[in-house]
Amino acid sequence: MKPLVGIVMGSDSDWPVMQAAAAMLKEFGVPFEAKVVSAHRTPDLLFDYAAMAQERDLRAIIAGAGGAAHLPGMLAAKTIVPVLGVPVPSKHLNGLDSLLSIVQMPKGIPVATFAIGEAGAANAALTAIAIIATGNDDYGRALALKLVDFRARQSEKVMAMSLPGL
């Protein structure tokens, strides 16, 4: 199956975090691709990737970057495919810089922004899955059922929790 979700990141050093998005998509059986595309080191590649995204039928792009993290915003500037931004923890400011760079998009070009790090990457994948699950076709409906089941299993885990000593 052709990829429905693109995972892109500014460097291979982002992969340990972004793998959480890939793992979630794998768990739901959603076809995806993962690539390194740097906004400032490969700007032409970034433009080409974003410009082709809709034609390639990508339903969402999960973009992770750290530091002055302009990758998600620049992708969003060149495509109407939803861009889900994941702030990657940075060396000096622990990802607060990445978060603010991604979340503070000026009005008009949205980037849906997630938590810093692996939780954000996993939740970006769950959001991409939810976007595809809104499709009124067999694949979308099947994914929606899987999402409901995923939520139910989380609830069960919490209900089964007990506190030591009580």
Task: Work out which of 88, 121, 131, 132 binds ligand RP5, going by CB under 6 A.
Answer: 88
Q: Is there a contact between 143 and 30 (Cβ–Cβ < 8 Å)? A: yes
Closer by beta carbon to ligand RP5, 35 or else 141: 35
CA-wise closest residue to 64 among 10, 25, 21: 10
The answer on whether 14 is annotated among ligand-binding residues is yes
* 71 close to 83: Cβ distance less than 8 angstroms: no
CB of 37 to ligand RP5, least distance (A): 10
Q: Which two tokens stand for residue 142?
A: 């099947």
Counting beta carbons within 10 angstroms of the beta carbon of residue 127, is it exposed (0 to 12), middle (13 to 18) or buried (19 or more)?
A: middle
42 counts as binding ligand RP5 under rule CB under 6 A? no
Strand partners, 63: 8, 85
What residues form DSSP beta bridges with 35? 8
Check the annotation: does 11 bind a ligand. Answer: yes
Find where tokens 């992708």 sit. Answer: 75
Of 19, 38, 94, 127, the one binding ligand RP5 (CB under 6 A) is 38
CB of 28 to ligand RP5, least distance (A): 25
Given candidates 5, 65, 75, 99, which one binds ligand RP5 under the rule CB under 6 A?
Answer: 65
> Residue from 6, 10, 73, 120 that binds ligand RP5 (CB under 6 A)?
10
Q: Which of 11, 19, 42, 94 binds ligand RP5 (CB under 6 A)?
A: 11
8-state DSSP, 105: P
Residues that bind ligand RP5 (CB under 6 A): 9-11, 13-14, 38, 65-67, 88
